[in-house]
Chain A
Amino acid sequence: MNDVLRSILFLPEEGSTLASRVDGIHFFIILTTMVVGAGIGLTGFVFLLRYRRRYAHALTEAFTAPMWLEVLFVTVPLSFFLLWGALGYRDYVWSRAAPPDALDVYVTGKQWMWKFAYPEGPGAVDVLHVPAGRPVRLLLTSRDVIHSFYVPAFRLKMDAIPGRYTETWFEAIRPGRYPVLCAEFCGLNHSLMRAEVVVLSPAEFEAWRAEQGGDQVASGAGLTEPLVARGRLVATREGCFQCHTVDGTPHIGPTWRGLYLREEPLDSGGTIRADVAYLTESMMEPQAKVVAGYAPVMPSFQGRLSAADVASLVEFIQSLRPERPVPPAAREPRYELRGR
């Protein structure tokens, strides 16, 4: 029955414990609507045939609906509406209160990607690994405009708002891959802001997590993002790591950890923001803008790196941001007791 209704209504598979609850109320609403709709339609149709106009100037006797009919018209639909509202609200409350043992994941929306980070380290762009059968609590925020994290198969949606944290949770039922979309208009590539939830069996998830262990940030990102993985390979091949580190310690050159968009003081005075343009320039023409405190020893990679190499290096460096967003300071006013 459920499956038949689901396919008639074009609903995707039910991938989470929330999905069947949402679908349940959905079916209830649709079925009652259709029954009442058919009732009104049939009544109208019968009236249409029965009371067709026969004489242009026919008089009709005045008729006023009796009180009991009006009362019926109010109470019957209202009780259905309130029932739906109450049932739905029960599930809504449930969907907003994560169980205490949930696995935490930070979600950051950003034009136009989803970034995921676990408290103990590894982060990833556009792919979220979670175990099946265990609640996952999402803490969402945004770096720029409002986005909305939407997994149709989980019937799960929550806005990611700059300057705020919102919270939701889900429990995936079985392993598989489920698309994530952005549901709040966020600019040019809104429709391309897609990601994926990869649900693993608990054992696979533990294995995956163990693998993330060592070089937490880098390999975590490397596994999940082909460009980032390639960037790492390129960096190894070209010997970048002889001078640059990815763990935050400065070496012969500045560390790449957290480099992206950092304000760097320059040898020649002034500062520069390490954006994509600057990163690219530093690979091609390293002496043009040298960061203060470092010797101008980096060779030019002009001609040695293909365009795709450069792109993957930039992606790799971008992925090395400290991923855990810092919760904004509480904005509530603090009250001091007077006269103490």
Chain B
Amino acid sequence: MSFEAAEPAMPREHYLNAQRGAWSWLTTHDHKRIGVMFLGALLCTFLLGGVFALALRLELLTPGETVMGRLAYNRSFTLHGVIMVWLFLIPSIPTSFGNFLLPLMIGARDVAFPRLNLASFYLFLLGAVMTVWAILQGGVDTGWTFYTPYSTATGTDVLPVLMGVFVVGFSTILSGLNFITTVHTMRAPGMGWMRMPIFVWTLYGTSIIQVLATPVLGMVLLLVALERVAGVGLFDPARGGDPLLYQHLFWFYSHPAVYIMILPGMGVISESVSAFCRKNPSSYRVLVWSTVGIAFVGFLTWGHHMFVSGQSVLGSGTFSILSMLVAIFTALKIFTWTSTMYRGSIWMSAPFTYVLGFIFLLFFGGMSGVAVAVTSADLHWHDTYFVVAHFHFIMVGASLMAFLAALHYWFPKMFGRCYPEGLGVGTAVLIIFGFIATFLPQFLLGNMGMPRRYADYPEHFQSLHVASTAGASLLGFGFLIIAAYLGWSLRHGRVAGRNPWGSRGYEWHSDSPPPESNFHAPPDFPYRPHDYSRPDTQPEVGHAA
């Protein structure tokens, strides 16, 4: 291990202190500040969703009523699902890290439409507040999928939540448009498409899905609202409507939406694998084209949510095969990340620990996804805890692991300070194990036949539920530790210097934290992204491994 003693200094002026006062934050057009504000908002929604997750797990500790009644349980899982999916996972990485890093990575001073960017933040905030307020007001018990005819028949107040999610959808569309335009028009001179960092590619792919799919969601939500208010009868069989129409429309958006959640995470992982193996990705081309492939084929698989709904047998077979195609792109990425380690120089840092957790969870989450896409197997697994485990492996395991990896990897860039690395690695291990302990038993519960969204269950399911709840408490504990040391590091962490990881990512060319204008001089990226085969052009860097 070599150690460079030169103690880096905090740059004197940066985006955090360039202007002062709450007002300067609330009216800022700076993509970095907007990214940080999004990060703050997202941490709040995650906390709220997490508290309800623990409440759900506690209720399921024993059969019968443990801490809440059935109505309260139904409302809680809806609240948990709505918040986690619509208010946390879908916006998470693009709006926080994407906003912060995209211009830095392509050498731009800001996104294409800075004011729109701020508007997108406020729309998100408005939608989030509406949703949370509505849910706390009376509660909704439809689950995050709002399936009709239940959602048009239930006595709980669905409308405000639909409207909240609708508004959040607008925020998503605006962010997507902004990113697409930025990538097309604001790349630094000389940065061709095949020289863009992988993270930028994944943000681009995500934005395309957002812009194409979210309007469908908006439309569906409006139709449900119309159905509730005016009884138009689109989905109500008593009026000649079709309940399955809703499911088709809903999943036409929501299946691609799971790729909105996962693609940016894959971008984060691609960046971190490279940085912590000090290695170019073993195939840049594969990482790029699999991103495009996922964004495209993701639109063709929605029917795999409906194998037992009575849809045509041929339809099910078609959707099954198309789902296999989308899985192959994920498999390609996993192979590429693993082979990137080959002949690298690997540093088991906290972000890299999350990377390993990510690859593990994505592999099993993805394989269980292929498994439920097999039509006959899904006869048993559909709507059981197997599915709950599957989507938590993917959504939480992968998106959340990537979020944590991003949080640790870019923390020094965003705030100019490092966090205690040893603590970081230890907590990462705790989180990964807590996670596996929580959701692995749920696969087995699904095999036993435990349906999802059950407030109460037959006795023989109990031991696995106890295991799952124990894992969840471990997980919750891990998050507390992270909150504690990251909070501490904001003030007291070691000053990071420009590039504490010795990364070749373009964003590390500017100061940490970056100046308000991102770069002091027009940026010049002398090598391809993720290239570690030539001597460093920024020799001032000091880092600890």
Binding site for B on A (CB under 8 A): 9-12, 18, 21-22, 25-26, 29-30, 33, 36-37, 40-41, 43-44, 47-48, 51-65, 69-70, 73-74, 77-78, 81-82, 84-85, 87-93, 95-96, 144-146, 148, 150, 152-153, 155-159, 161-164, 166-167, 179, 181-192, 194, 328, 331
Residue contact A84 to B448, C-beta cutoff 8 Å: no
Q: A183-B451, A185-B142 are in contact. List 14 more A-B contacts (CB 8 A).
A: A48-B346, A55-B2, A56-B543, A60-B279, A65-B282, A73-B286, A77-B328, A153-B449, A157-B379, A159-B308, A164-B244, A188-B74, A190-B454, A194-B458
Q: Which residue of B lies closest to A151 (CB)?
A: B449
Structural contact, B342 and A47, CB atoms closer than 8 A: yes
In the complex, the answer to whether A146 meets B310 with C-beta atoms within 8 Å is no
B143 within 8 Å of A by Cβ? yes
Partner of B375, one of A89, A148, A164: A89
- Contact present for B335 and A159 (CB under 8 Å): no
Q: Residues of B contacting A69 with CB < 8 Å?
A: 339
Q: How far is the CA of A247 from the CA of B307 in the complex (A)?
A: 41
Contact B317 A89 (CB under 8 A): yes
Contact status B331-A77, CB under 8 Å: yes
Separation of A171 and B269 alpha carbons in the complex (Å) = 48
Q: Please give the number of chain B residues whose Cβ is less than 8 angstroms from any Cβ of chain A in the complex.
A: 100
Contact at B343–A92, with CB atoms within 8 Å? no
Complex formed: what's the CA distance from A179 to B360 in Å? 35
Q: Is the CB of A162 within 8 A of B149?
A: yes
Minimum CB–CB distance for B177 against chain A, Å: 33
- Inter-chain contact A21/B237, CB cutoff 8 Å: no
Q: How far is the CA of A167 from the CA of B313 in the complex (A)?
A: 12
Cβ of B308: which chain A residues have Cβ within 8 Å of it? 148, 157-159
A26 and B380 within 8 A (CB): yes
B278/A179 in contact, CB under 8 A: no
* Contact (A93, B2) CB under 8 Å given A9-B447, A148-B308, A179-B458: no
- Shortest 3 CB-CB distances between A and B: which pairs? A163-B237, A152-B449, A166-B310
Q: Do residues A163 and B238 form an inter-chain contact, with CB atoms below 8 A?
A: yes
Chain A residues with CB below 8 A from B338, complex form: 40, 43-44, 47
Q: Is the CB of A53 within 8 A of B278?
A: yes
Q: Are A145 and B153 in contact (CB under 8 A)?
A: yes
- Give the shortest distance, in Å, between A46 (CB) and chain B (any CB): 9
> Which residues on A sit within 8 Å (CB–CB) of B335?
40, 73
Q: Which residues of A contact B284 (CB under 8 A)?
A: 64
A9 touches B444 (CB 8 A): yes
- In the assembled complex, B533 has its CB within 8 A of some CB on chain A: yes
CB distance from B272 to the nearest CB of A (A): 14
Quick one: given A62-B531, A162-B237, are A11 and B320 in contact (CB under 8 Å)? no
Within 8 A of A (CB), among B294-345: 307-310, 313, 316-317, 320-321, 324-325, 327-328, 331-332, 334-336, 338-339, 341-345
User: Looking across the interface, which residue of chain B has its beta carbon closest to that of A165?
Assistant: B310
Q: Give chain B residues whose Cβ lies under 8 Å from the Cβ of A163.
A: 237-238, 241-243
Is the beta-carbon distance between A88 and B376 smaller than 8 angstroms?
yes
State whether A59 touches B243 (Cβ < 8 A): no
- Separation of A146 and B284 alpha carbons in the complex (Å): 46
Contact A92 B379 (CB under 8 A): yes
- Do A57 and B371 have beta carbons less than 8 Å apart? no
Residues of A within 8 A of B313 (CB): 92-93, 96
Query: In the complex, how many angstroms separate the beta carbon of B383 from the nearest chain A beta carbon?
Result: 4
Contact of A92 among B283, B317, B448, B457 (CB under 8 A): B317
Residues A85 and B320 in contact, CB atoms below 8 Å apart: yes
B70 touches A (CB below 8 Å): yes
Given contacts A12-B448, A29-B371, A163-B237, contact A156 B379 (CB under 8 A): yes
- Whether B455 and A191, one on each chain, are in contact in the complex, defined by CB atoms closer than 8 angstroms, is yes
- The answer on a CB contact under 8 Å between A181 and B153 is no
Contacts of B458 in A (CB 8 A): 179, 194
Q: Contacts A25-B376, A152-B380, A158-B308 hold; do A84 and B346 have CB atoms under 8 A apart?
A: no
Query: Which residues of A are found within 8 Å of B238, using beta-carbon distances?
Result: 162-163
Of the listed stretches B124-132, B223-231, B362-370, chain A binds B362-370
Contacting residues, chain B, for A152 (C-beta < 8 A):
380, 448-449
Q: Once bound together, how far apart are the Cα atoms of A161 and B327, in whole Å?
A: 30
| Structural contact, B382 and A81, CB atoms closer than 8 A | no
Residue among B238, B379, B444 facing the most chain A CB atoms (10 A cut-off): B379
Give the residues from 141 to 178 in chain B that come closer than 8 angstroms, CB to CB, to chain A. 141-143, 147, 149-150, 153-154
Asked if B278 contacts A91 (CB within 8 A), the reply is: no
Q: Which residues of A contact B143 (CB under 8 A)?
A: 185
Query: What are 9 A-B contacts defined by CB distance under 8 Å?
Result: A40-B338, A53-B347, A65-B339, A81-B328, A87-B376, A145-B150, A163-B238, A188-B141, A190-B453
- Whether A56 contacts B74 by the Cβ 8 Å rule is no
Pair A10/B448 contact, Cβ less than 8 Å: yes
Q: A136 vs B452: C-alpha distance in the bound complex, in angstroms?
A: 27
Q: Which chain A residue lies CB-closest to B309?
A: A159
Q: How far is the CB of B499 from chain A (nearest CB, A)?
A: 11
